[in-house]
Amino acid sequence: MKNTALTDLHISLGAKMVPFAGFNMPVQYSGINDEHETVRTAVGVFDVSHMGEFILKGEKALDLIQKISSNDAAKLYDGKVQYGYIPNEDGGIVDDFLTYRIDDITYLLVVNASNIEKDWNWISKYNTEGVEMKNISDQTSLLAIQGPKAADALQSLTDIDLAPMEYYTFQKGKFAGVDNVIVSATGYTGAGGFEIYVANEDVKKVWEAIFKAGADYGIKPIGLAARDTLRLEMGFCLYGNDIDDNTSPFAAGLGWVTKFTKDFVNSAGLKAEKENGVTQKLVGFEMIDRGIPRHDYEITDVDGAIIGRVTSGTQSPSLKKSIGLGYVNAAFAKEGTEIYINIRNQKVKAVVKKPPFIK
């Protein structure tokens, strides 16, 4: 099992550590509800250094990205980030990922931790034009500082003007005395904030500087458990739960990042699927009756006929009620439709609700 550069620090802070995507990761410190509330109302710091980072460089780098990405990376400009997915040849999803345009021949791809090797091999397979590829995952640390007070807490550490930074943009500069740091604003919590990409050897210094600067803002370390409840309140997909190699991107609601303005892997197949429509759709739902939905629980109609399955579910700390995501037959996907979750052989009532669950 791999460690991040901060594993010993997390242990010293009393974090509960768990295996996740091949890494020894902090799942919680003070407790899920407390950590969740901290991010929603103040500022919290996640060590997400398990994520993967690839540099693609060369005159044909954009062509390679256009081939493997569902989205149109030609729309990017220096300092702009784009969300998309890597389609496979069979109608499913290799991974969802971010593309950062550093300059016109240099791009940073950020991929999910569990898919680093798979994604690298997949992109390499399509690299027929000699694009320079570098996997910097093992040398790179990533901190996500999330919450409404993030900009105020961090501003003293950098000359980059944080408050006006637009969503899905980034800048490179000095941060906490370290040169050449990428500071981005993509977020996975819906609470606002920033991501800091820094070399492993500098991350402890940066972490300590962040906590010193954030002391007056109620800053706390946050584990993966609260990251999951926060992203679920926003209805954000998690690879391996809500999308995977067998998931239709149109069923998953990813049509908005599927751009047929260029050719890409399986674009013809996906175009046909878009025209024909899908039989199932990923929906959000709130529980009406008591019960917590969990991954792979059956979703049924009023008569108990199986119409789908839960992909993610939790007790929402913000709403004080249970919420989830799941695939259902298209006829049941309309907002307001009553559905039932099979929890320990009990039919528990829920209602389809369009995410985000909190505004």
pLDDT digits (tens, 9 = 90+) for 14-39: 999 999 999 999 999 999 999 999 99
pLDDT digits (tens, 9 = 90+) for 203-245: 999 999 999 999 999 999 999 999 999 999 999 999 999 999 9
| SS3 letters across 32-77 | HHHHHHHHHHCCEEEECCCCEEEEEECCCHHHHHHHHCCCCHHHCC
Domain boundaries, the chain: 6-51+138-233, 279-354
pLDDT digits (tens, 9 = 90+) for 256-297: 999 999 999 999 999 999 999 999 999 999 999 999 999 999
| 29 and 18 Cβ atoms separated by less than 8 Å | no
Q: In the chain, pLDDT over 90 holds for what percent of residues?
A: 100
**What's the mean pLDDT when you consider all of the chain?**
98
CATH superfamily to which 6-51+138-233 belongs? Probable tRNA modification gtpase trme; domain 1 (3.30.1360.120)
Can you give the pLDDT at residue 359?
84
- At the topology level, CATH places domain 279-354 in Elongation Factor Tu (Ef-tu); domain 3 (2.40.30)
Q: In the chain, pLDDT over 70 holds for what percent of residues?
A: 100
Q: Is 195 within any annotated ligand binding site?
A: yes
Distance separating alpha carbons of residues 223 and 212, to the nearest angstrom: 19
DSSP 126-179: H--S--EEEE-GGGEEEEEEESTTHHHHHGGGBSS--TTPPTTBEEEEEETTEE
